[in-house]
Structure 1
Amino acid sequence: MSNERPFDGELAGVTSRVPVDDYEIEREAVIAMLERERRSLTASLVALSLLAIGVAMLPNPGLMVVLLALRVVSFLFTRTAASRLEKKVRARDPLRRSRWILFGAMLLTGVTLALMLWPQPQAAPPVAVALIQIVIIVAITLISVTLAALPASRDAMLFAFWGTASALILLHPADIDPMLIAVITLGVTGVRIYSANTGQHMRSSARILVENRELSEDLADALAHAEFLSWRDPLTGLFNRRMLFEETRKERSARARHLLTIDLDRFKAINDTFGHGVGDHVLIAAADAIRDWSASLGDPDEHPAFRLGGEEFLVILRGLDDTAALDQAERLRMQISALEDQFTDHPGIAISASIGLSAWRFGESLDDALMRADIACYEAKNTGRNKVRRAA
């Protein structure tokens, strides 16, 4: 996303309730404005049709036909510029060029609308003149309100309209009272004030939309995090005890299964010597090693890993016979021992694990299989540590 401030206008007068991105507020306001502009196509075509009817009722419409044609060209140019800007806004592309194109289109809109007020001869039907003038007044007001979220483009149109209309009055002092300039000035000022208030309302609505969206995203993130923590150990990211019992509750397969209980050797000494921060890093590194080792066996879901608490871990192996399970347990033990190479900043640190392996027989409870794996793990510790022992 470009860092360029892509929109005109400020957010003055809009009270913030939660921290939000001003870019997003402006973006939503402009998108809403452009959608409104697109939906106003029917009203714009009706206005052009009424102008055409008024011009057709004039006795000598030649010049007015030309001015009406300019108005149609300006209308098409404006819609093209607005569509281009909307695409850029939605795609979050740089907007400088599109913004200036729309600015120019609105200048042209103000000029062509004012030119439609060209003084008519005395013989012109009052109904036709009144029709043209009413349509122009309504069009100026509606366009200003529609452009409320782009005040620079709106003001460009109003200024162009005021300047062109004033020039027409000054060029025809015999046909038009110059005091009408004051009337036009008051009218344009009133339209601008009304449009500015509408713009503030649009930005307030955009702010509420952005706030609600960000709150929804924050809530979704919080729920996802809560769900993650309900099944995962927050330090290592491995499954927790709750997930272990959920996993075994659903276990229905008759395939060969083994439990590996993994206990890091002399972990308390690591905490006491190097601090709990280093101890946490050792736990994370061990968990990563277990996770990578499990993934190397195939589908990680087939061999889930759990942190039971402290420095104790558990892995459920599926689909391996006794010999293969023992070989893989030895490979994991060596990978954990190799973690010392990641802690060269802490000389003398010793990282190893004692692993107990037991078959989890079909129909046997998790507690019974886990007890035998724990006994084997204790045996590995009692016979020198950094070993794998298989339960009887």
Structure 2
Amino acid sequence: MPLSNVVDEEGFLVVHESRSYKSEVFRETLSGILLVERRNLPAQAMLWLVMVLAATRMPNSEFFFLPLMARLFALLHTRFASHRLGMALERGKRIRKQLAYAVFAMLLGGASWGFVLAAVMSDPVLHPARLILGGGTLVGASLITAIVGPAYRLLFAFLAGFVSSTVLGMWLWEASMLLPATFGTLCLSLIFLAFAYALSGQRILTSRTLVENRILSEELADSLAHAEFLAFRDPLTGLMNRRAFFECAGDYDEGQERYLLSLDLDDFKSINDRFGHAVGDKVLVKVGETIKQVQESLPAGDHCAVRLGGEEFVMLLDCSGKGCASAAAERLRCAIEGISDQLRLPGLRTTCSIGLSRWHRDTPIDEVLCNADDALYKAKARGRNRVENTAA
């Protein structure tokens, strides 16, 4: 389990994190980022188009051709990287390679915005379109930092590309502006970082809540499944319990030919007294496994195996013929006798007595069970470790 949960003195759930839990929170955070990124794509495309139109109004529009083409390439590349990462997350695969590719895409994305900003800052022309280009750049970059803020690797890759590209572009166009450009870009990046940090806390908390709710839901489902299992199964052997036995018996069609096998371990109390209840439980578990193996070896049918309680077991055999049922009972007796050899405890002897009864049409199950028990008592009286039947 990725969580270890306890309840504090005030009754609140306290979650202790593990590596797998942190990984799930990170994956959930990435899923949220990619969802916003997909919804933000039309806005980014529209912003790019507006900036292209603004650039065409500038007197030296050719000056912005390469920066805007770089921005378009980075936008498409980021969408492709996000798609790959999203597919890996949806399929539950490892995301190391896809995440590294997304980090590289964010580096290019930051560099493309820095390239555009450097072009705006280096152009001395005063024009209203310059406001759109510069403002659009700052808005677009700030939106991206806000979106990827919870994923620090993506955020710092974007800011690294943005700062380096802006400073490099300013130096290439006007070397004397290198120091002011560097200072100004770093200030912008710190503002973007603070903005992203302010927004990321709530989104990470939301991811934690979603993961914890999912884990708690899975734990609840497991608990309900386990409770349902225990309602119809014996917790020690995994066989059906008494309640399930009578429901199973009630589901049989009246026209089916079937047999009931009643089994009781011989001198089981002496096993507990001599070797302890732990050994006794091991014997019962082995008996349950043996009964399952015999059941699986039978011809296809609606067979069921039951632990009525203690060392008493019952099998309903959906067999066509007394020979099949008798052979199954004898095979079961021999297998149980061999359990002592498997446990390798000196003096341990595991045998059973078995009573077999045919289930006639319209005969109540209680009567059939009594007939099988009568045959079982005969087996006990005649020396134990044998099969007796009333299946006439």
What TM-score do the two structures reach when normalised by structure 1? Answer: 0.87
1:333 corresponding residue in structure 2: 333
Letter in 1 for 2:365: L
Change (3 A) 1:100 1:312: closer
With a CA cutoff of 8 Å and minimum separation of 6, indicate the structure with the bigger relative contact order: 1
Q: Match for residue 4 of structure 2?
A: none
Q: Which residue of 2 aligns with 1:9?
A: none
Q: Report SS of the residue matched to 1:67.
A: helix
Give per-residue Cα distances to partners, 1:277-336, cap 9 Å, x unaligned.
11111111111111111221123x522111111111111123333344333322221222
2:109 is the alignment partner of 1:109: yes
**Compared CA separation, residues 286 and 172, structure 1 to 2 (3 A):** closer
Q: Which residue in 1 is equivalent to 2:223? A: 222
Asked if structure 2 preserves the Cα contact closer than 8 Å seen for 1:151 and 1:196, the reply is: no
Q: Is the 8 A contact 1:29 1:203 kept in 2?
A: yes
Q: How much has 1:92 moved relative to structure 2?
A: 4.6
Q: Are residues 1:308 and 2:308 paired?
A: yes
| Alignment of 1:213 onto 2:211 | no
Alignment of 1:1-392 (within 5 A): 17-19=14-16, 21-117=21-117, 118=119, 119=121, 124=125, 126-166=127-167, 184-299=185-300, 302-344=302-344, 346-391=345-390
TM-fit CA distance, 1:16: 8.4
> Does structure 1 conserve the Cα–Cα contact (< 8 Å) formed by 2:242 and 2:306?
yes
Residue 347 of structure 1: CA displacement?
Answer: 1.3
Of 359-368 and 41-50, deviating more is 359-368
Specify which structure has the higher proportion of helix.
Answer: 2
**3-state DSSP class of the match of 2:338?**
helix
Q: Whole-Å Cα distance in 1 between the matches of residues 30 and 287 of structure 2?
A: 52
CA-CA distance at 1:268 after TM superposition: 0.9
Supply the distance in 2 between the matched residues of 1:350 and 1:65 (Cα, whole angstroms): 92
Q: Deviations over 1:131-186 (max 9, x none)?
A: 10111011011110111132233123224323443555667779989767655544
Question: 1:191 & 1:383 partners in 2: Cα distance?
Answer: 91
Between stretches 350-359 and 156-165, larger displacement belongs to 156-165
Structure 1 residues 180, 235: closer, same or farther in 2, change over 3 A?
same
Q: Structure 2 CA distance, aligned partners of 1:177 and 1:335? A: 88
Distance 1:386 1:347, change over 3 A: same
1:302 aligns to what SS in structure 2?
Answer: coil
1:218 shift after superposition: 0.6
Cα distance in structure 1, aligned partners of 2:62 and 2:214: 55
Cα displacement (A) at 1:111: 2.6
**Structure 1: distance between partners of 2:13 and 2:146:** 24
Per-residue Cα deviation, 1:100-123 (whole angstroms, up to 9, x for no partner): 33333323322321222324655x
- Pair 244,73 (structure 1): closer, same or farther in 2 beyond 3 Å: same
AA partner of residue 329 (structure 1) = A
Give distance in 2, aligned partners of 1:296 and 1:169. 82
Of 244-253 and 137-146, more deviation after overlay is shown by 244-253
- CA 1:369–1:32 in 2, change beyond 3 Å: closer, same or farther? same
SS of the residue 1:235 aligns to: coil
Answer whether contact 1:169 1:178 (CA < 8 A) is retained. Answer: no
Check whether the contact 1:231–1:243 (CA below 8 A) recurs between aligned residues.
Answer: yes
Cα RMSD (Å) of the superposition?
2.6
Closer, same or farther in 2 for the Cα pair 1:222/1:238, shift >3 Å?
Answer: same
1:186-223 deviation digits (Å, cap 9, x = unpaired): 43322211211222222111111111111111111111
Letter in 2 for 1:284: V
- 1:5 maps to which residue? none
Indicate the SS of the match to 2:354: strand
Bigger mean CA offset, 55-64 vs 135-144: 55-64
Counterpart AA for 2:290: A
Q: Deviations over 1:6-47 (max 9, x none)?
A: xxxxxxxxx984245111000110111112112211011101
- Alpha carbons of 1:159 and 1:294: their partners in 2 closer, same or farther (altered >3 Å)? closer
Corresponding letter in the other structure for 1:302: D
Corresponding letter in the other structure for 1:44: Q
For residues 143 and 180 of structure 1, the distance between their equivalents in structure 2, rounded to whole angstroms, comes to 21
Cα deviation 1:76-113 (Å, max 9, x = unaligned): 22222222333334445444443333333323322321
Residues 167 and 178 in structure 2, CA contact (< 8 A), matched pair in contact too: no
**What residue identity is the alignment partner of 1:362?**
R
Where structure 2 has 5 or more consecutive residues not aligned to the other structure, the ranges are: 1-11
Q: Distance in 2 between matches of 1:95 and 1:322?
A: 60
Separation of aligned partners in 2, 1:324 and 1:82:
63
CA distance in 1, matches of 2:190, 2:287: 72
- The unaligned stretches of length 5 or more in structure 1 are 1-14
Aligned mates of 1:65, 1:32 — CA distance in 2? 34
State the match for 2:7 in structure 1: none
Q: Which residue of 2 aligns with 1:12?
A: none
Contact 1:264–1:354 (CA<8 Å) still a contact in 2? Answer: yes
**TM-score normalized with structure 2 length:** 0.87
CA contact (8 A) 1:51 1:135 kept: yes
